[in-house]
Structure 1
């Protein structure tokens, strides 16, 4: 059933993911993974002998919000591999609750994921649902759930495709961690190859598209690159793409998540170099095993980030 036939969604969100659409789709249609990245959906079991997501397959979903729990039954309504996954939710017999849809659109580097839902409950079930879930403003709650789910999905998918990545637990606030990571002087002081950076054209870390020049060194060799801010969510996320002239080199990402007494900071990098450029890069930097070097450098950087944030 198309959106035109069932009306405008009651809640919707979208996010760009730096991972192949087929891999992201595989994560979305793995219901164990979907339960891990979702806010309220916590688990499921297949019904009627179903074993995988396919049209007509049914599953019982477990949901939780605070101390409240409730179950629903879902039926896969549409499945277009790599592009679209739709399921209808029912409760109290076969009373309609909602329709949920995931749509993936390929991008030059990764894909855009859209998650949306339509409210389908009759009035009496909205009252019962409010009692069961504690949610009386379902559209607003679903907007939040979608935002959390997409953010977690992005983190999961991108972590799997990174060329190098590591995390560290830090006894600090998310704002303090973000402030350090986006301060070019402070973060370059923590880095291995990156020696210094300077914003270009009045740019800043919180303005998408802002550029900065980075000065790098490894052993006796030194080189410069220009980076462009691609994602910046204060206290949560900072991503930039590195170029040598017009040639893409890498994408770097810092992700900050609540953890224990403080936060978990994850630094990841993706190699974007064209094959024909790699020999030039190796000669410029003296680094043959770029993935291995980046893994070591990330670990060293994060150790210094932790020390800097916790020294107070």
Structure 2
């Protein structure tokens, strides 16, 4: 079961009944096996004081999503392109938040997904790379996600319609904006290689979704890296009504660095862990993501 599926099962109507896999993921338990996955915060609050003297300080207007994501799209569209072979693998190394301590987990997870979907692999606690066949990909193979993104139209509205109609992933968010944010985020965090033109189309479409914002001064990610945060608050498949989500990008390359979720209301995660409204309850940091020739390869 993949992380996004686990999160979708963790709904506000039955938090105490969340499956053990959800609590283990959120509470930072070490993974010993892994199924094919799609990846898939609190916005920084700026306080201004003036040496004990009351003063009115005018902050610059927040940057518009259209302007920033337009710049993002133009940058990623110019990146070198490649077409992975069916027998190549998508390698990903990532680290999850330990919700009990509020700190990064102790061990990053390493995984490999063969592009054609025939096999997956992950690194066991012993260091051995465990390779296994795959009979069923609940949210599509890396090749299927690549093919879907290649086929995206140019117009942002058409991109959103295309994602909504595609069978790989169908959001059950409350509003069209919730569902559109889900669909675009799922594509951008898919464990696959996305062609530059397709990534650019996704970012341009993201800019048109009502409620999407930009935080250029967001808190660093789970491992302390500076981020450009694409923000959204709503009732999405990723969490519950009112939760605040951030798609975290590298400020220079605009590579996806992770995903962060902040509670809109108190969440009982079980096992004695309660995250209060305004606290980060989910975060993953993507430490490496690349196409390699064999399971176990790092470069």
State the TM-score bracket (shorter-chain normalisation): under 0.3
Larger RCO: 1 or 2 (CA < 8 Å, sep 6+): 2
Q: TM-score, normalised by structure 2?
A: 0.25
More helix by share: 1
Q: Highest Rg: 1 or 2?
A: 1
Q: TM-score, normalised by structure 1?
A: 0.24
More strand by share: 1
